[in-house]
Amino acid sequence: MDKVIIQGPAGVLQGAWHEVEGSEDCLIICHPHPQFDGTMDNKVVTTVAKSYLDLGINVLRFNFRGVGESAGEYGNINGEVEDALAALAWLMAEKSVKRLFLAGFSFGCYIAAKVAFELPRIQPSLHLEHLLMVAPSVINSPFEKATPLMCPSTVIMGALDEVVPFDAVSEWVDSLYPPLEFIELSQASHFFHGQLVILKQEVKACLAPHI
């Protein structure tokens, strides 16, 4: 892992780059809510990141503004979207990117989805291979600004989620077109306590068609 500094719109952003030698596939992963202790070191974020690394995909993690060593303060969602776009700009400037993967956990799902939505406008030549959303916070995020999802997408959701209502996510997924893959983990809570090994298996399974 290499520590990296990303120039963001509110100041520098703290990042971590995990490189797979010879790979031009890259993931940007977005962490949970900054105001509720969300960081790039969250155990769900790092578990998902390791899943991609195991499959030969480079990974960029980063802290939103005001988190860890990142400058600034909470940007009320729009600022965090800007941070993720800055992370994308850093990736495109510093690394060779053939295929892009995006992922998020909880709050970070909307940020990743919004980057995916904006990508045809800001990087029309970049191929977005897949979007992964783990426990998306659909009741607190303006997903209407990030849909339709025009790339292959997967939602993984714990049936015992105590933070985001499972039924709300299920109904949201059913409302989407084009349709996306929905994976339910029957014994998982929001933070996947005791279920991280299963989560990793499911992430790898959903990515298998894209490797």
Mean pLDDT within 194-208 = 97
Question: Please, which pLDDT band fits residue 138 given cuts at 50, 70 and 90?
Answer: very high
**Over the range 178-189, which residues count as b (16 or more CB within 10 Å of their CB) and which as e?**
eebebeebeebb
Which structure tokens are listed for 86?
Answer: 């800055």
- Is residue 123 within 8 A of residue 99, CB to CB? The reply is no
Dump pLDDT digits (tens) for 158-200. Answer: 999 999 999 999 999 999 999 999 999 999 999 999 999 999 9
From the list 141, 134, 138, 84, the residue with the least C-alpha distance to 105 is 134
C-alpha span between 129 and 211 (Å, rounded): 10
Task: Please report, for residues 117, 118, 131, the alpha-carbon distance to residue 150 in angstroms, rounded to integers and kept in the order given.
Answer: 7, 11, 10
Structural domains for the chain: 2-210 (3.40.50.1820)
State the average pLDDT over residues 5-18.
97
Give me the pLDDT at residue 171, please: 97
How does the average pLDDT of the chain come out, rounded? Answer: 97
> pLDDT at residue 57 above 90?
yes
Q: Is the pTM of this model over 0.85?
A: yes
Look at residue 150 and tell me whether its pLDDT is greater than 90: no
